[in-house]
Amino acid sequence: MSTASAARREIPEATVARLPLYLRALASLESRGVDVVSSEELAEAAGVRSAGLRKDLSHLGSYGVRGVGYDVARLSEEISRELGLQHDWAVAIIGMGNLGHALAAYGGFATRGFSVRWLVDEDPAIIGTEIAGLRVIDFAELARQAPETIIAVLATPPHAAQQAADRAIALGVRSILNFAPCVITVPDGVEVRKVDLATELQILAFHEQRGRDEFDDVAEGRR
Amino acid sequence: MSTASAARREIPEATVARLPLYLRALASLESRGVDVVSSEELAEAAGVRSAGLRKDLSHLGSYGVRGVGYDVARLSEEISRELGLQHDWAVAIIGMGNLGHALAAYGGFATRGFSVRWLVDEDPAIIGTEIAGLRVIDFAELARQAPETIIAVLATPPHAAQQAADRAIALGVRSILNFAPCVITVPDGVEVRKVDLATELQILAFHEQRGRDEFDDVAEGRR
DNA sequence: AGGTCTTTGTGAACGCGGGCACAAAGTCGC
DNA sequence: GCGACTTTGTGCCCGCGTTCACAAAGACCT
């Protein structure tokens, strides 16, 4: 009753989070002309352990060949399909401050299955200007132009993030990447991932502070 | 023998990763004039469960008062000390492309314990130019100017990331925040955290694809 | 064609993290 | 000053994820 249509093989969240890494590593190998790779080599390239890699791949009914390894092109395609990257996803960036501006100009999305198609802001001074070949529009305009499934990237100041999220969700957005340093609450069925730059630095700071005193005996068993 | 000087109370990694969230939530409460908060309220503000929050705080020998809650200012200070945020940390941003440029101009660091002090690039066309009030320098110059403990933010293209990391480490950097979409290998004692924007989007894409078919019966028990 | 050797796929053990529920502790009212 | 009430701190349990180690499977050599 609860896990009704568990027809699709269930893929662990931790595995899903690593699939993009594998895909990246595979693309790199492919560009270097490698066409077969062992779990050991691929794990090395992706920065994980080989046993974990094999288990991850086994979840998507992988087609490795024992004694040989994995076919790079084949595996690459397999993972792409699993992640839903056969076709590009349309992305709207909301909030055209420093960060939004940079994200709009950032080339790293296009090659990885995403196409930034709309830039949204509510500041009249910014609306209408052109950034990276796109005109900045307001929410009303986005509502008119965006009938499809889109992914929203939130790059607003924290105080505006919740409202921006609400508006996006009202347009049918179900996936949000939140760069605003705040908690946003969303209804069930909407997926939010957050990227908080300052938080990452603070975690580093913790280890940096700790490390100064303790690394000498932890990092090296003897000395 | 292994865990030699576990004199300091050991704080779980998962807890460390949440401390910045608590700090942020506390700052928000403080600015609103709240000076005592219960674990329930703070958990709500930080987007976690209250039981988990209490357990996290217990690790740093917290000073909550039963029947009342936590003193906002006190707790805030406690977490700041734990994270090593009494003084600001000096940050060098390496790679002045779109992303590096935006990070340099991003105001979100200064208020959270970090001071961006050096902007580094190896392109002669960029070196010497001024961004967000700082002059872009090369690695040699950074080596001359940076005697202290610094945190490096890598915002280079992927092919340049490893070399940039190596150079930074040679200068004594032990903490790296890597925005380049690639794996970098570092010696023991150097901490790397990575932020990969395209990867985050790909994870969202996976759920988006899955969600279209399956959410209807998973999200809602009945219908 | 058979044997050896490589590499996958996976069963089992383990450790961490999250959640529940309760007892301890301290406050506030009377 | 005492009792009731609130909220913390934590012991226990469970489920997930990671790692190890090995058996199955297939390729390659002779």
- In whole angstroms, what is the distance from residue A69 CA to residue A61 CA? 14
B64 assigned ligand-binding residue: no
B5, pLDDT greater than 70: no
Which residues of chain A lie closer than 8 angstroms to B210, CB-CB? 8, 84
- Average pLDDT over chain B reads 90
Per-residue pLDDT tens for A17-65?
999 999 999 999 999 999 999 999 999 999 999 999 999 999 998 789 9
Q: Which of B145, B103, B119, B105 is nearest to A195 (CA)?
A: B103
Evaluate whether residue A161 is within a structural domain. yes
Q: Output the six-digit token pair for A180.
A: 């605003």
Question: Are B43 and B99 in the same domain?
Answer: no
- Domain range holding A178? 89-199
B182-189 contacts, C-beta under 8 A, 24 or more apart: B182/A24, B182/A28, B182/B158, B183/A21, B183/A25, B183/A45, B183/A46, B183/A47, B184/B154, B185/A47, B188/A219, B188/A220, B189/A211, B189/A215, B189/A219
Question: Are A35 and A71 in the same domain?
Answer: yes
Evaluate whether residue A204 is within a structural domain. no
Which residues of chain B lie closer than 8 angstroms to A53, CB-CB? none
Question: What is the model's pLDDT at position B133?
Answer: 95
Question: What is the model's pLDDT at position B213?
Answer: 53
Question: Are B96 and B65 in the same domain?
Answer: no
Question: Are B95 and B193 in the same domain?
Answer: yes
B71, pLDDT greater than 90: yes
Question: Are A93 and A194 in the same domain?
Answer: yes
CB contact under 8 A, B102 and A107: no
Task: Single out the residue in A59, A83, A107 at which a domain terminates.
Answer: A83
A103 assigned ligand-binding residue: no
- In whole angstroms, what is the distance from residue B121 CA to residue B59 CA? 41
Kindly state whether B110 is in contact with chain A, defined as any CB-CB distance less than 8 angstroms.
Answer: no
Which residues of chain A lie closer than 8 angstroms to B84, CB-CB? 205-206, 208-210
B221, pLDDT greater than 70: no
Q: What is the DSSP string of B112-127?
A: GTEEEEEEE---TTTT
Evaluate whether residue A19 is within a structural domain. yes
Q: Strand D: which bases are under 7 Å from protein Cβ?
A: 5-11, 16-21, 24-28
Question: Are A75 and A122 in the same domain?
Answer: no
CB contact under 8 A, A24 and B182: yes
Question: What is the model's pLDDT at position B212?
Answer: 58
Per-residue pLDDT tens for B175-209?
999 999 999 999 999 999 999 999 999 999 999 99
Kindly state whether A154 is in contact with chain B, defined as any CB-CB distance less than 8 angstroms.
Answer: no
Query: If you ran DSSP here, which 8-state letter would residue A22 be given?
Result: H
Evaluate whether residue B7 is within a structural domain. no
CB contact under 8 A, A89 and B182: no
Question: Are B100 and B174 in the same domain?
Answer: yes
Q: What is the mean pLDDT of residues B205-223?
A: 62
CB contact under 8 A, B8 and A208: no
Q: How far is the CA of B203 from the C1' of D21 (A)?
A: 32
A95 assigned ligand-binding residue: yes
Question: What is the model's pLDDT at position A221?
Answer: 39
CB contact under 8 A, A83 and B218: no
List of chain A residues with pLDDT < 50 = 1-7, 215-223
Q: Output the six-digit token pair for B211.
A: 């969600």
Q: Helical H runs in chain B?
A: 13-31, 39-46, 50-59, 72-83, 98-105, 139-145, 158-170, 197-218
Tell me the one-letter amino acid at A194: K
Q: Which residues pair with A118 in a beta bridge?
A: A92
Nearest protein residue to nucleotide C6, judged by CA and C1' positions: A67
Instruction: Compute φ and ψ for A193, nearest 5 degrees.
Output: -120, 140
Question: Are A100 and A191 in the same domain?
Answer: yes
How far does the CA of residue B53 sit from the closest CA of chain A (Å)? 15
Compare all CA atoms of chain B with the CA of A106 and give the residue at the minimum distance.
Answer: B98
To test the contact with chain A by mutation, choose from B9, B19, B178, B203 the residue with the greatest count of A C-beta atoms within 10 A, namely B203
Question: Are B60 and B95 in the same domain?
Answer: no
Question: What is the model's pLDDT at position B214?
Answer: 54
First to last CA, chain B: 59
Which nucleotide shows the minimum CA-to-C1' distance to residue A68?
A: C7
Evaluate whether residue A57 is within a structural domain. yes
Evaluate whether residue B184 is within a structural domain. yes
CATH for B171: 3.40.50.720
Question: Are A40 and A115 in the same domain?
Answer: no
Kindly state whether B222 is in contact with chain A, defined as any CB-CB distance less than 8 angstroms.
Answer: no
Instruction: Compute φ and ψ for A186, nearest 5 degrees.
Output: -135, 155
How far does the CA of residue A204 sit from the closest CA of chain B (Å)? 6
Question: Are A192 and A168 in the same domain?
Answer: yes
Question: Are A51 and A134 in the same domain?
Answer: no
Total domains in chain B come to 2
Portion 44-83 of B in contact with A at CB < 8 A = 45-47, 82-83
Task: Single out the residue in B41, B58, B83 at which a domain terminates.
Answer: B83
Which nucleotide shows the minimum CA-to-C1' distance to residue B64?
A: D8
Evaluate whether residue B44 is within a structural domain. yes
Question: What is the model's pLDDT at position B8?
Answer: 56
What 3-state DSSP class applies to A69? Answer: strand
CA distances from B99 to A100, A167, B105, B107 (A): 10, 27, 10, 14
Compare all CA atoms of chain B with the CA of A201 and give the residue at the minimum distance.
Answer: B177
Evaluate whether residue A60 is within a structural domain. yes
CATH for A73: 1.10.10.10
Instruction: Compute φ and ψ for B120, nearest 5 degrees.
Output: -125, 140
The beta strands (E) that lie in A44-138 are given as: 70-71, 89-94, 114-120, 130-131, 134-137
How far does the CA of residue B144 sit from the closest CA of chain A (Å)? 22
Task: Single out the residue in A55, A83, A111 at which a domain terminates.
Answer: A83
Instruction: Compute φ and ψ for A98, nearest 5 degrees.
Output: -55, -50
